[in-house]
Structure formats: structure tokens, C-alpha cells
Amino acid sequence: MFVVGLTGGIGAGKSAVSERFARLGVPVVDTDVIARELTAPGGEALPSIREAFGGSVFTQAGELDRAALRRQVFADPAARARLETILHPRIRHIAGQRLAALDAPYALLVVPLLLETGAYADLVQRTLLVDCPETMRVERVMARSALTRSDIEAIVAAQWRDDERRAAVDDRLDNAGGMEALDAAVTALHTRYLELARAAAGL
């Protein structure tokens, strides 16, 4: 199947964009969703996380303390690498399984670190960047969540720069406008991806 890999920095609008593709009937596999499943109560990755990071990243009730873990990994590149070694192979494996089970002209695979990890190149035929200026992304994420500006800036610093992303992708969706502009851009891309999927399938 033709798979479009969707990426973008924190708060760029990946979820907003993938929701719109889903509304058009495009199946979406989201690696953030898989990561959350792996780390939810009973999640497959929890024993390895406890082994690597200890009890300080778990609440008294035994659930993963996401804020505590995030603070550790964005302050310490070695800790981040440890967490990635635990999560990324599992996420990639499950994403591949979910894509293989789909029956559709094309599907969307949402991977925040698609470009940074390079681990999804064999799963995606095309890449789409949700692009939005960093200042706007920080404001949008602060409005959306409990993350502080410095939390967000630490995450931004761990990701690629916008110019690096732009140079690496096939397509770019400019999400500096409002939600209506976003609808129109997604609809146009959907038409294009249906054509590309058809061509790739030799139809």
C-alpha cells in the first residue's frame, strides 16, 4: 500500500492534520498513539522502562509518571537514547503490522521523529511535513497543555530545525494559517495522494 509519512515539530499540527485526513476516510496509524498504548497501565514497555529508569518515573499507583520521564529524557541525551531504544523498535514493529492489515488506496503514518530517526524509510513512499513557525508552535502547545515554555523549548531543541525538515521531505503543508486554510490544504493533498497511489499501483 501507498503510505504517506506525516511529520512536523512539536505543536506543528500533526494531530489536527491527521484528523482531517481521517475524516476524508484515510486510515491513520499514529506512532504517538502506539507509544501511549505501550506505556499505558499494563503496557508492554513498562517493565523495560522500570528497569532502565527505576521507580522515580512511576507514580505510587504504579503508573508511568510521564512528566517525570519527560523531564529526565529532555534534560539528558543518554537517557533519551535509552528510552528510544526501548520504545522505537516496538513502535515501528506495531506500525508495520497495522499498515499491513489495512485495505485502502493509501494510508497516513504519523511519526513526529520520522526524519530524525530515519527508521521508517522503508515503510513510507512519500513524506509530508506539517510546517509552522516555531514561535507559533510554542504558543499553541502552551495553550493546549500543561507544558511550560522551557519544557517545550527542550523538546524543540531535541528535534530537527525547520530548515532541515523542509529540505528532507517531499511535500509541505503550511499550517501558519487558521483551521479553514488547513481543511483546504488537506483536501488538495488528499486528491494528489489518491492520484499518486493509483499511479504507484499501476492503475
Ligand X SMILES: Nc1ncnc2c1ncn2[C@@H]1O[C@H](COP(=O)(O)OP(=O)(O)OP(=O)(O)O)[C@@H](O)[C@H]1O
Please name which of 133, 110, 130 lies closest in space to residue 186, comparing C-alpha atoms: 130
Binding mask 111-150 for ligand X (x = CB under 6 A): -x---------------------------xx--x------
Q: Nearest to residue 34, comparing CAs of 151, 106, 104, 123?
A: 123
Q: How many CB atoms lie within 10 A of CB 66?
A: 12
CA 60 from centre of chain: 29
Size of the site for Mg ion (CB under 5 A): 2
Q: Please give the grid coordinates belonging to residue 53.
A: 529508569
Residue number, 12 or 29, with CB nearest to ligand X? 12
Residues in the chain, how many? 203
Single residue of 104, 167, 179, 188 touching ligand X by CB under 6 A = 179
- In the set 16, 102, 123, 168, which binds ligand X (CB under 6 A)? 16
Any idea which residue has 504517538 for its cell? 32
Range 4-43, binding Mg ion (CB under 5 A): 14-15
Q: Using CB distances below 5 to 8 A depending on partner kind, what does residue 13 bind out of Mg ion, ligand X, none?
A: ligand X
Decide if residue 202 touches ligand X (CB under 6 A): no
| CB-based contact 136:55 (threshold 8 Å) | no
Which does residue 175 touch among ligand X, Mg ion, none (CB within 5 to 8 A, set by kind)?
A: ligand X
Separation between Cα atoms, residue 113 and residue 168, nearest integer Å:
12
Note whether 5 binds ligand X by CB under 6 A. no
Residues in contact with ligand X by the rule CB under 6 A: 8, 10-16, 32, 112, 140-141, 144, 175, 177-179, 182
